[in-house]
Amino acid sequence: MGALARATAARPEAAHQASAYGIAERGGPLVALEVPRRAALPDDVVIDIEFCGLCHSDVHSGRGEWGARQLPLVPGHEIVGRVAAVGAEVTGFTVGERVGVGCLVDSCRECDSCKEGLEQFCERGGVGTYSAIDHRTGEYTQGGYSSSIVVNQGYVLHVPESLDPAAAAPLLCAGITTYSPLRHFGARPGSGVGVVGLGGLGHMAVKLAKALGASVTVFTTSASKVEAARALGADTVVVSGDPEAMASARHTLDLIIDTVAAAHDLDPYFATLRRDGTLVQLGLPAEPMPPVNPRPLLGRRLRYTGSPIGGIAETQEMLDFCAEHAVAAEIEVVDAAGLNAAWDRMVAGDVRYRFVLDVSTLPAPAAPAPHVPAPAAPAE
Ligand SMILES: [Zn+2]
Ligand SMILES: [Zn+2]
């Protein structure tokens, strides 16, 4: 609480320095630093952050694995907190309300996708919550491993009070990334949904598919995860290296949510789909995938597709759905000093199933003056 209160105590709507953890040097660890937060524009919501989930994307971005990024870089796009202040034109958000921010803090609002509420497909490119240039302000965006954030009201979500705020944080990326394709491709009572991989995304896919009424089959490479998958609600667990088990799943599924981010052969999974079944890929392997065999696609009119996060309206729908069905992430809360170790454990797959940063453990800003000018962008 202390760090948050100090960061935005005097005039939360004024420009201020937020305490944060981020990457300050190329190849370096996460370190304590401060980032400037703009004075609230008339349609901005100022949020005191309580919790922020740790996503694999944070590591890829922070460690330069998706290309060199401007530094310092404060990751985090699974943000839950409370409204500290609102701009004069904000409607629908009140001070003190619990809110969330996911992977987008803006988009063009004019293209066909934005007009349809599908901001994740913005044709000019949505503005990422961190490591992106904000079209409107020209700022370099900094994410949720920080004490506060200022976001346009159109990209802020209502987080129902009945959800635990720490366990709700991962819904803002892992939750919507799995909910969106489950809904779009028709997971419903009577349908068979397969989930490949049981990490941050996979465990949310199991819970959400069950809550949508589907029968869920989890595919895992590891026999040690069978009990864990059942504990999450899986009806059937198949160890993918067991040919007999894979054969028993043949032609039983309508939809597969594939969360594996390493290259892998899809043929064994196509074999488990019924006619008109769909395999949705959510993981983005760094290396090329084995070629897709068109024979099962033709033979049973299968679809092979992918899906990124979700739009703002659908993210709100997902949060409300999770509140209604008491669905949230399985989490391990870490403090700021444990962030680097948590990243290493996440890369090693050693977490059930999502780390969440307790933002109150961030060190307070050294000089919490309300009008500190933004530092010049580092030369890149
Ligand atoms: Zn993410
Ligand atoms: Zn757009």
Give pLDDT tens digits for 72-120. 999 999 999 999 999 999 999 999 999 999 999 999 999 999 999 999 9
pTM, 2 dp? 0.93
- What ligand has the least distance to the C-alpha of 108? 2
Distance CA 248, CA 260 (A): 22
Instruction: Note every long-range contact of 125-130, with CB atoms under 8 Å and residues 24 or more positions apart, other chains counting.
Output: 128/77, 128/103, 128/104, 129/76, 129/77, 129/79, 129/101, 129/102, 129/103, 129/104, 129/105, 130/61, 130/73, 130/74, 130/75, 130/76, 130/77
- What ligand has the least distance to the C-alpha of 259? 1
**Residue 377, in any domain of the structure:** no
Same domain flag for 190 and 211: yes
**Residue 169, in any domain of the structure:** yes
**Residue 367, in any domain of the structure:** no
Same domain flag for 288 and 322: no
Ion ligand 2: residue ranges with CB closer than 5 A: 107-108, 111, 114, 122
- By residue range, what is the domain housing residue 148? 2-173+311-361
Same domain flag for 152 and 181: no
Same domain flag for 223 and 294: yes
Cα–Cα distances (Å) from 278 to 195, 241, 270, 289, in that order, read 12, 22, 9, 18
- What ligand has the least distance to the C-alpha of 311? 2
Contact indicator for 289, 155 with CB cutoff of 8 Å: no
Give pLDDT tens digits for 268-283. 999 999 999 999 999 8
**Residue 151, in any domain of the structure:** yes
What residue type is assigned to position 112 of the chain? Answer: D
Cα–Cα distances (Å) from 244 to 138, 251, 265, 269, in that order, read 56, 14, 17, 14
Same domain flag for 272 and 354: no
Same domain flag for 35 and 116: yes
Same domain flag for 267 and 341: no
**Residue 117, in any domain of the structure:** yes
**Residue 369, in any domain of the structure:** no
How far does residue 281's CA lie from ligand 1's centre (Å)?
15
What CATH number does residue 277 fall under? 3.40.50.720
Same domain flag for 155 and 14: yes
pLDDT of residue 374: 44
How far does residue 197's CA lie from ligand 2's centre (Å)?
32
Same domain flag for 111 and 148: yes
353 prior amide bond cis, ω within 30:
yes
Number of domains in the chain: 2
First to last CA, the chain: 35
**Residue 376, in any domain of the structure:** no
**Residue 379, in any domain of the structure:** no
**Helix orientation angle between 200-211 and 174-184, rounded to the nearest 10 degrees:** 50
Give the chain's mean pLDDT.
Answer: 93
Q: How many C-beta atoms lie closer than 10 Å to residue 93's C-beta?
A: 20
Same domain flag for 149 and 182: no
Give pLDDT tens digits for 292-332. 999 999 999 999 999 999 999 999 999 999 999 999 999 99
Same domain flag for 166 and 188: no
Give pLDDT tens digits for 176-221. 999 999 999 999 999 999 999 999 999 999 999 999 999 999 999 9
Same domain flag for 200 and 347: no
pLDDT of residue 74: 98
How far does residue 201's CA lie from ligand 1's centre (Å)?
9
- What ligand has the least distance to the C-alpha of 52? 1
pLDDT of residue 102: 98
What CATH number does residue 145 fall under? 3.90.180.10
| DSSP one-letter string for 242-292 | -HHHHHHTTT-EEEEEE---S----HHHHTTEEEEEEEEE----SSPPPPP
